[in-house]
A and B are shown apart, each in its own frame.
Chain A
Amino acid sequence: MSKLLTDAPAPVKRNTLTKNQLPGWAIWAVAAGSLVLGAAASSLLGFSLVSWALISAVIFVIAGYLVTLSVEGARKAKDRFATNLIFAAFIIAVVPLISVIWTVLQNGIAGLSYNLVFTSMNGMTGMVDNQTVANGTEVLGGAYHGIVGTLLITMWATIISVPIGLLTAVYLVEYSKGGALSRGITFFVDVMTGIPSIVAGLFAAALFGLIFGPSTRTGFVAAVALSVLMIPVVVRSTEEMLKIVPNELREASYALGVRKWRTILKVVVPTAISGIASGVTLAIARIIGETAPLLVTAGFVNSINWNVFGGWMTTLPTYIYRQLMNPTSPTNVEPSMQRAWAAALILIVFVMLLNLIARLIARIFAPKTGR
């Protein structure tokens, strides 16, 4: 046996375990090759970074398949092909995200100024914008009324949604015994998360139109529309949080003779409060950027309105929409574009901050799940 081994001619040093296997550098060689080929092919079509990346990627996926096929066989080649496609899918998904954020930052920072944040569009006409462009002075007018409207309407939507959402979640987790009603509520809450936002807006508009006469548009109508969208999100997240509160805590409280409602208010909810708070914050982040329901419920004005129960209101999303689609001065659109992008930047910062706060709340007040 040992004679056989020592006598066997060994011109190739690779052992049988790594035979038919591509060396580690092979995939990088294929990548470099396809980049070069991609550069050549895209320069034939008129060079651009996008076409270079696209053509190189396609060549890389195909060449990777062929090289693996020739050395490692069909099964490995198929595996390589699938891996490359899945990596490509991830890159494709990240490109629009980066593009969106880059566009907003690039266009938004230029327009961000004291005027934008602290003045409204009151008295801003096309003439003012035309003069701004002609004289090259600073852009006047801003989104202050939009910021005020967004904050007020979101606050009212939160005031309406949070109690209803919390109580429903408490009912589903603590009181219901898995009957038809609770299953119905769970099912329809899930269905409600899929209601198109414009339909929620139409509902609120129809409801208030019926009571206060057609075309009633106030901030409060918008808040009702938004709470239709917000309630299911609050219910779902609160439900998940209440479910992970350990049963021992409830039983300990009952054993001390504490009533069920006091147990819920003093033991169960405080235990889950971090999760509930972060869920509510995420729900606010979701509705703060809604546009369509506000278009049909809150109207649009150029001046500041602090009263949600009377008069039309502007919010940041509708402000962005109006400035982009119907610029204040049709002949000189630049000031409007600048205001719109700066307002978009403010809106995104709001949403990202809310997301960040939600994650911080969830992390700092970590769920107190027993030991």
Chain B
Amino acid sequence: MTETGRGRTGDKVFSGLTLAAGCLILFVLFCVAAFLLWQALPTFGAEPTALTGGKGFFAYIWPIVIGTLIAAAIALVLATPVGVGVALFISHYAPRRLAQGLGYVVDLLAAIPSVVYGAWGIAVLAPALVGPYTWLAENAGWIPIFAGPASQTGKTMLTAGIVLSVMILPIITSLSREIFLQAPKLHEEAALAMGATRWEMIKMAVFPFARPGVISAVMLGLGRALGETMAVAMVLSGGGLIASLIKSGNQTIAAEVALNFPEAYGLRLSELIAAGLVLFIITLAVNMIARWIISRHKEFSGAN
């Protein structure tokens, strides 16, 4: 009798523990929002002149929001075609035996710490891009985003965007690859049997099936690019909002916080936390949309 009783208690305690752990996660996410809001509140009530820039919180935040969006946009424009191409290469083009190994090689890109990417950006990429930037400024300077004179250190928004694109590439690739592999084999074989070339088969059988999955993969990449801190903080020599991508200038929220937080106190501290809150809301929205697209197509949900 006591044996049974103890077993029942054990059952109750254990199921209660697991439930508590699950609820704790929801609570933590709620706390992240709540504490950020709590600590950011002084900013919203403060005199506009007391804040950085002296024109209120909105005037402070919108240039770096735009900067964040620019960096993420460059990263997406560069990484999406390459990422989808690599995913196709691994799923449909590479020899079967090589495919898994190659997938692992691309996953290695995700394992490299962001600070190492930042160091690589400063030491290798930025100096290598000075030449092309000068050429762009001379030959395509009439386009606002390539307006000269080009930075002589290469530490510009475009460089930061390129580093970001390398960092989000494995996310886009691994998710897209999973989905391409799940495309119905019978559809593919039917297309090939009708005499379609490999590319026509991919266009007719694989892409229509994989489109929502690829979109959500790109959205998750976007979420990562928006929140990535160190690569931008190290590679970009920041400044005010400018249109040219090959001059020093622009800043992202994450880099602004990381660069200024260690020395901040008082109102400046809550101002930076408010900036973090804005970033949190933007990435939360992007991620929720991406996850919502995935969950509508349940068969992709295992891929992450």
**A79 to B114 Cα, complex, angstroms:** 37
- CB atoms of A198 and B234 under 8 A apart: no
**Which residues does chain A contribute within 8 Å of B283, judged by CB atoms?**
194-196, 199
**A75 to B198 Cα, complex, angstroms:** 10
**Which residues does chain A contribute within 8 Å of B118, judged by CB atoms?**
321, 324
Query: Is there a chain B Cβ closer than 8 Å to A351's Cβ?
Result: yes
**A198 to B258 Cα, complex, angstroms:** 7
**A163 to B105 Cα, complex, angstroms:** 31
- CB atoms of A75 and B22 under 8 A apart: no
- CB atoms of B227 and A197 under 8 A apart: yes
Near A by CB (< 8 A), chain B positions 1-43 give 7-8, 10-11, 13-15, 17-26, 28-29, 31-32, 35-36, 38-39
**A344 to B90 Cα, complex, angstroms:** 30
Look across to chain B and name the residue whose beta carbon is closest to the beta carbon of A207: B35
Contact with B along A309-335 (1 / 0, CB 8 A): 000000001001100110000000000
Q: How many A-B residue pairs have CB under 8 A?
A: 275
Look across to chain A and name the residue whose beta carbon is closest to the beta carbon of B163: A96
- CB atoms of B304 and A168 under 8 A apart: no
Contacting A196 at CB < 8 Å: which of B21, B31, B226?
B226
Contacting B287 at CB < 8 Å: which of A88, A191, A290, A348?
A191
Query: Is there a chain A Cβ closer than 8 Å to B169's Cβ?
Result: yes
Query: Is there a chain A Cβ closer than 8 Å to B230's Cβ?
Result: yes
**Which residues does chain B contribute within 8 Å of A89, judged by CB atoms?**
81-82, 84-86, 88-89
**A241 to B79 Cα, complex, angstroms:** 31
Pick out which of these stretches binds chain A: B144-152, B243-251, B273-281: B273-281
Rounded to whole Å, the gap between the CB of A160 and the closest CB of chain B is 11
Near A by CB (< 8 A), chain B positions 273-297 give 273, 276, 279-280, 283-284, 286-288, 290-291, 294-295
Contacting A202 at CB < 8 Å: which of B25, B36, B166?
B36
**Which residues does chain A contribute within 8 Å of B108, judged by CB atoms?**
97, 352, 355
**A291 to B116 Cα, complex, angstroms:** 10
Pick out which of these stretches binds chain B: A14-22, A55-63, A123-131, A254-262: A254-262
Which one of B22, B39, B89 has the highest number of Cβ atoms from chain A below 10 Å of its Cβ?
B22
Pick out which of these stretches binds chain A: B47-55, B57-65, B119-127, B182-190: B119-127
**Which residues does chain B contribute within 8 Å of A236, judged by CB atoms?**
304
**A262 to B3 Cα, complex, angstroms:** 13
Query: Is there a chain A Cβ closer than 8 Å to B200's Cβ?
Result: yes
**Which residues does chain A contribute within 8 Å of B276, judged by CB atoms?**
198-199, 202
- CB atoms of B39 and A82 under 8 A apart: no
Near A by CB (< 8 A), chain B positions 228-284 give 228-230, 233-234, 254, 257-258, 261-262, 265, 269, 272-273, 276, 279-280, 283-284
Query: Is there a chain B Cβ closer than 8 Å to A69's Cβ?
Result: no
**Which residues does chain A contribute within 8 Å of B226, judged by CB atoms?**
196
- CB atoms of B25 and A352 under 8 A apart: no
**Which residues does chain B contribute within 8 Å of A187, judged by CB atoms?**
291, 295
Query: Is there a chain A Cβ closer than 8 Å to B109's Cβ?
Result: yes
- CB atoms of B105 and A94 under 8 A apart: yes
- CB atoms of B113 and A198 under 8 A apart: no
**A295 to B254 Cα, complex, angstroms:** 12
Contacting B234 at CB < 8 Å: which of A176, A194, A324?
A324
- CB atoms of A194 and B21 under 8 A apart: no
Rounded to whole Å, the gap between the CB of B159 and the closest CB of chain A is 13
- CB atoms of B39 and A292 under 8 A apart: no
Query: Is there a chain A Cβ closer than 8 Å to B112's Cβ?
Result: yes
**Which residues does chain A contribute within 8 Å of B85, judged by CB atoms?**
85-86, 88-90
Contacting A170 at CB < 8 Å: which of B18, B93, B198?
B18
**Which residues does chain A contribute within 8 Å of B197, judged by CB atoms?**
75-76, 78-79
**Which residues does chain B contribute within 8 Å of A232, judged by CB atoms?**
25
Pick out which of these stretches binds chain B: A3-11, A31-39, A98-106, A113-121: A98-106
Rounded to whole Å, the gap between the CB of B178 and the closest CB of chain A is 13
- CB atoms of A168 and B113 under 8 A apart: no
- CB atoms of B227 and A96 under 8 A apart: no
**Which residues does chain A contribute within 8 Å of B220, judged by CB atoms?**
194
Contacting A90 at CB < 8 Å: which of B35, B89, B202, B262?
B89
Rounded to whole Å, the gap between the CB of A317 and the closest CB of chain B is 5
Contacting B115 at CB < 8 Å: which of A82, A90, A205, A344?
A344
Look across to chain A and name the residue whose beta carbon is closest to the beta carbon of B198: A79
Contacting A163 at CB < 8 Å: which of B21, B32, B262?
B21
**A196 to B86 Cα, complex, angstroms:** 25
Asked whether A185 and B26 contact (CB < 8 A) given A103-B124, A167-B21, A321-B230, the answer is yes
**A290 to B229 Cα, complex, angstroms:** 10
Rounded to whole Å, the gap between the CB of B13 and the closest CB of chain A is 8
Look across to chain A and name the residue whose beta carbon is closest to the beta carbon of B290: A194
Look across to chain B and name the residue whose beta carbon is closest to the beta carbon of A184: B26
- CB atoms of A96 and B35 under 8 A apart: no
Asked whether A196 and B120 contact (CB < 8 A) given A97-B105, A261-B15, the answer is no
**Which residues does chain A contribute within 8 Å of B10, judged by CB atoms?**
259, 261-262
Known: A79-B199, A172-B22. 17 other contacts (CB 8 A): A78-B200, A79-B200, A86-B89, A89-B88, A93-B106, A104-B116, A168-B24, A190-B294, A193-B304, A202-B261, A206-B273, A214-B265, A214-B269, A321-B230, A344-B116, A348-B112, A355-B108
A-B contact pairs, 21 of them (CB 8 A): A76-B197, A79-B199, A89-B89, A90-B89, A100-B112, A100-B116, A175-B18, A193-B304, A194-B223, A196-B226, A196-B279, A198-B279, A202-B273, A203-B36, A231-B25, A259-B11, A288-B113, A289-B115, A295-B258, A296-B257, A348-B116
Footprint of B on A, CB under 8 Å?
Answer: 75-76, 78-79, 81-83, 85-90, 92-94, 96-97, 99-101, 103-104, 107, 163-168, 170-172, 174-176, 181-182, 184-185, 187-200, 202-203, 205-207, 209-210, 214-215, 228, 231-232, 235-236, 240, 259-262, 264-265, 285-286, 288-292, 295-296, 299-300, 317, 320-321, 324-325, 340-341, 344, 347-348, 351-352, 355
The 3 closest A-B pairs by CB, nearest first: A196-B227, A289-B113, A89-B85
